[in-house]
Copies of this chain bind each other. A is one copy, B any other.
Amino acid sequence: MTPVTHSIPANVTSLSEHRLLHEAVIDRLRDLIVTGELAPEAKLNERVLAERLGTSRTPLREAIKFLASEGLVELVPNRGAVVAPLKPEKMREVFVVLGALEALAGEQACRNASEADIADIRALHYHMLAHHARGELAQYFRYNQLIHQRILDCARNVTLSQTWSALNAHVRRARYMANLSRERWDQAVKEHEEMLDALSRRDGAKLQALLRDHLANKLVLVMEALGGGVAAEGAR
């Protein structure tokens, strides 16, 4: 697998893969927010941002409205938009909902995944293990996300996948501030082993429980990073 550079060109964006400008702007702007290049609570100056993305204010404003519905930006009347704050309480909420969604996905995936699907996920899992062994955090995260994504796909529920993706953007955003201790990291990998095992045995109840716990543990990490402390109630 070829190494992926995470440096993103500031000005030039490949708009070519999108037929429509505002769709490209949605993806580009979401990326800026998720990677933290646009920090939480940063003001979105329309003139400046439009220039940076090489477009006019109109498609940018449309993209902002779209992302507002996703919850990544907040609209302030007569004051434009800001990147949604990254509050511990909000994170707790998102993780609780994601836990329920992934649990559902895991259960459904055990019913609906083909053997080829499971084989694919296993392959991704081994890639992830390799990057874990080498301590390559960025690549580890990449495969981690791909695995979760593939499990969602196997649930065969587009609505579930879309809902998950929108909320997962918040988690991806937090990832850029969470610095994983080796201990925690090893634990997460171990959980993934169990998840793959449960999926292979098509043990829906087990996978469901594992995913819920996995998410709860991820939440603990994020809360530590955000310095919010883990609000005990409801997190499990």
Partner-B contacts on A (CB < 8 A): 1-2, 19-20, 22-23, 58, 61-63, 65-71, 74-75, 77-78, 90, 93-94, 96-97, 100-101, 103-104, 108, 111-112, 156-160, 162-163, 166-167, 233-234
Contact = CB atoms under 8 A, between A and B. Distances in A.
Given A78-B19, A167-B163, A2 B68 contact: yes
Contact of A101 (B67, B97, B166): B97
A159 B95 CA distance: 10
A159 B94 contact: yes
Contacts of A1: 74
Contacts of A157: 93, 96-97, 234
A162 B62 contact: no
A234 B108 contact: yes
A233 B93 CA distance: 30
Closest 9 CB pairs of A and B: A69-B69, A93-B159, A100-B104, A19-B77, A62-B65, A65-B66, A65-B65, A93-B157, A66-B69
Contact of A2 (B71, B94, B112, B166): B71
Contact of A160 (B65, B93, B108): B93
Contact of A111 (B58, B108, B233): B233
Contacts of A93: 157-160
B69 A20 contact: no
B69 A70 contact: yes
A96 B101 CA distance: 10
A194 B65 CA distance: 41
Contacts of A94: 159
Given A23-B77, A66-B69, 18 more contacts: A1-B74, A2-B69, A20-B78, A22-B65, A23-B75, A58-B58, A65-B66, A69-B166, A71-B159, A90-B159, A93-B159, A94-B159, A96-B159, A97-B160, A97-B163, A100-B101, A111-B234, A156-B234
A102 to B, nearest CB: 10
B104 A96 contact: yes
A84 to B, nearest CB: 9
